[in-house]
Amino acid sequence: MDFRKIEGIFLIVFIALDIFLFFSFRSNLTQVGSRTTSTTTTPTSFVREMQEDNISVNKLSTKRGSGYYLASQPNAALQQNYHRLTDQTVSLDSAQMTLISKLNDPFRVTTKNRNSVFRDWLKTSGNVLFADQYEYVPEVSDTTRAVYAQKVDGQLLMDSHGQLVFQIRNGWVTGYTQTYIDRLLKLQEMDQTKSAQEAVMLLYTYSEIPSNSRILWEKLAYGWLLDAKGSTIYIPVWYVGIENRNTKVVTIKRVNAFTGAVLKSNTNDATSSTTSSS
For the chain (278 residues), the mean pLDDT of every run of 10, in chain order, is: 51 56 46 41 80 93 94 93 97 90 96 93 97 96 95 90 96 98 90 96 94 96 90 95 94 96 77 52
CA–CA distance, 223 with 238 (Å, rounded to integer)? 9
What integer pLDDT is reported at residue 1 of this predicted model?
Answer: 47
Angle between helices 196-205 and 43-52 (to 10 degrees): 50
CA atoms of 228 and 164, how far apart (whole Å): 24
| Residue at 217: amino acid letter | W
Q: What was the pLDDT predicted at 275? A: 56
Q: In 3-state terms, what secondary structure has residue 81?
A: helix
Q: 108-134: string of b/e by CB count within 10 Å (b at 16+)?
A: ebeeeebeebbeebbeeeebbbbbebb
pTM given for the model: 0.82
Q: Which residues contact 193 (CB under 8 A, 6 or more apart)?
A: 64, 65, 66, 67, 220, 236, 238, 257, 258
User: Which ranges in the chain are annotated with CATH 2.40.128.690?
Assistant: 3-70+186-276
- Radius of gyration for the chain, computed over Cα atoms and rounded to the nearest angstrom: 20
Enumerate the β-bridge partners of residue 120. Answer: none
In the chain, ranges of CATH 3.30.310.160 domains: 74-178
- Measured over the CA atoms of residue 273, residue 218, residue 153 and residue 62, the dihedral's sign is positive
Say which amino acid occupies 245. Answer: R
**Which residue type occupies 57?**
V
Question: What is the C-alpha separation between 250 and 142, in angstroms, rounded?
Answer: 12
Amino acid identity of residue 278, one-letter, is S
> Are the C-beta atoms of 208 and 253 separated by less than 8 Å?
yes
Q: Which residues are paired to 217 by β-bridges?
A: 241
Supply the pLDDT for residue 25: 44
Alpha carbon 61 to its chain's center: 20
- Sign of the Cα pseudo-torsion (64, 235, 138, 201, in order): positive
pLDDT for the residue 114: 92
Which pLDDT value is given to residue 30?
Answer: 39
Residue 72 has a pLDDT of: 93
8 Å CB contact between 130 and 162:
no
Pick the CATH number of 74-178 from 1.20.1510.10, 2.60.40.10, 3.30.310.160, 3.40.50.720: 3.30.310.160
**CATH code assigned to 3-70+186-276:** 2.40.128.690
Quick one: pLDDT at residue 268?
65
Q: Which residues pair with 166 in a beta bridge?
A: 146, 176
Give the Å distances, CA to CA, from 196 to 60, 121, 155: 6, 34, 15
- Give phi and psi for 195, each to the nearest 5: -85, 170
Residue pair 212/194 in contact (Cβ under 8 Å)? The answer is no
